[in-house]
Structures are given as C-alpha cells and as structure tokens.
Amino acid sequence: MDEENKETVALGIISRGISEFDKISRELNVEPKELESILRKLENSGLIKVDEKKGWLGTKIEIKPTEEGYREFERQLKILQGKWNELKNTYKSGNKQELEQKLKENKSFLPSMMMFGIIDMMMFSMMFSMIGTSMGNFIPAENMQGIDGGANDTGGSNIENDGGFDIDIGF
C-alpha cells in the first residue's frame, strides 16, 4: 500500500472510532514508527487532533478526527467508490483488456477499497477469473488478511485433518 493510501486508511480507521495508537497500528498493519509518521502528517494537515489525557494509570493518547478530517475521509470514500464503479462497469462490458488495464491502474487503491468494504468480493473474484489471473497478482498477501470471511475457519477443531467430526456426548 502506498503512503497516500496508508494515510487515507489511517484517517478512515480513526473516523470510524478507533482512537488508540496500538489499535490503529494493528488495524493498519504498520510498525509504530511508520504510524507515528503518518499521524504526524495527518495532524499537520489538520485532519486529526491528538489529545493527551492524564489518568490514574498514566498518560493516555487519544486520536480523533477533526471536522475537516471527516470531510476528507468522506471525499476519499467517494473517490474509491467511483473507481470501483468504473471497474464494475468495465467488467459488465466484457472487455478483458480494458478490465485488466483498469485493474493495473487502480492497483494501489484495491487494498483501501477492501479495507472499507467498497468491493463486492464475489464480483471482484469474477473479474480476476475473466482476465485469467489471481488476486495475488494485484494485491500483496499482507493486504489480503481476513478476505475469506472465515471460510476456512474450523473453530479450532480437528475437522480439517481427519475428515470427521468431534462429538462430545457428555460422559
């Protein structure tokens, strides 16, 4: 994900109510030093406000978006939605070469679109089928965490290894 998209995603995470540094770092999947740099840029741009609150357990840093930050995030969401609509329309037209070209042009925006739930994953996978490639060619693995929606989650059971079911009959 490029720097501008990381800033947009960070602003989105903050706008959606996550205000603690550690949680933002985990959601964005970046190192604390990199997040610090991103937050400094957002603060210098007037898009977020950083407050230090002193409590019994020490100083707590809270990060909140400004009104301008909310507006900028909404503007970025509209841009991403427009790019997704373009991709959808190109897919529906059936032009493989044009779809592949648009996917390449918008490659850096795809993780952000996924992060904010703009992408319809079923249509997205059909796009890759149409052009005969895989999602991994366009989106780095670190940005595809959680995409399967838990489809391979067996809840910690041994069901995937032996093909059977674990049944507890209560004895």
> The CATH number of the domain where 15 resides is what?
1.10.10.10
Angle at 11 between CA 33 and CA 135, to 5 degrees: 85
> Would you call 61 helix, strand, or coil by DSSP?
strand
Residue 107, domain member (yes or no): yes
**Based on the number of CB atoms within 10 Å of its own CB, is 48 exposed (0-12), middle (13-18) or buried (19 or more)?**
buried
Spatial separation of the C-alpha atoms in residues 138 and 125, rounded to whole Å: 12
* pLDDT (0 to 100) of residue 135: 78
Spatial separation of the C-alpha atoms in residues 112 and 3, rounded to whole Å: 12
Residue 15, domain member (yes or no): yes
Structure tokens at 154: 């067996």
Residue 170, domain member (yes or no): no
Same domain, 114 and 130: yes
Question: With bands split at pLDDT 50, 70 and 90, how would you rate the model's confidence at 149?
Answer: very low
Residue 160, domain member (yes or no): no
When comparing pLDDT for 146 and 54, which is higher?
54
State yes or no: pLDDT of 79 exceeds 90: yes
For the segment 49-78, what is each residue's pLDDT rounded down to a tens digit?
Answer: 988 888 788 888 889 999 999 999 999 999
Contact 109, 70 (CB under 8 A): no
Range of the domain at 56: 3-66
State yes or no: pLDDT of 148 exceeds 50: no
Residue 21 CB-half CA count within 13 A = 18
Number of domains in the chain: 2
In whole angstroms, how far apart are CA 160 and each of 137, 146, 147, 153? Answer: 28, 19, 20, 9
Same domain, 112 and 60: no
State yes or no: pLDDT of 150 exceeds 50: no
Residue 158, domain member (yes or no): no
Same domain, 61 and 96: no
First and final CA of the chain: distance in angstroms? 53
Mean pLDDT of the chain: 82
% residues pLDDT > 70 (the chain): 81
Residue 157, domain member (yes or no): no
| Domain endpoint, select from 44, 66, 88 | 66
**Helix residue spans in the chain (DSSP H):** 3-15, 21-28, 32-44, 67-93, 96-105, 110-115, 121-131, 159-162
| Domain endpoint, select from 66, 90, 105 | 66
Same domain, 46 and 82: no
Same domain, 60 and 74: no
Same domain, 38 and 76: no
* pLDDT (0 to 100) of residue 156: 44
Spatial separation of the C-alpha atoms in residues 163 and 171, rounded to whole Å: 23
Is the Cα torsion angle 18, 16, 12, 107 positive or negative in sign?
Answer: positive
| Domain endpoint, select from 29, 47, 66 | 66
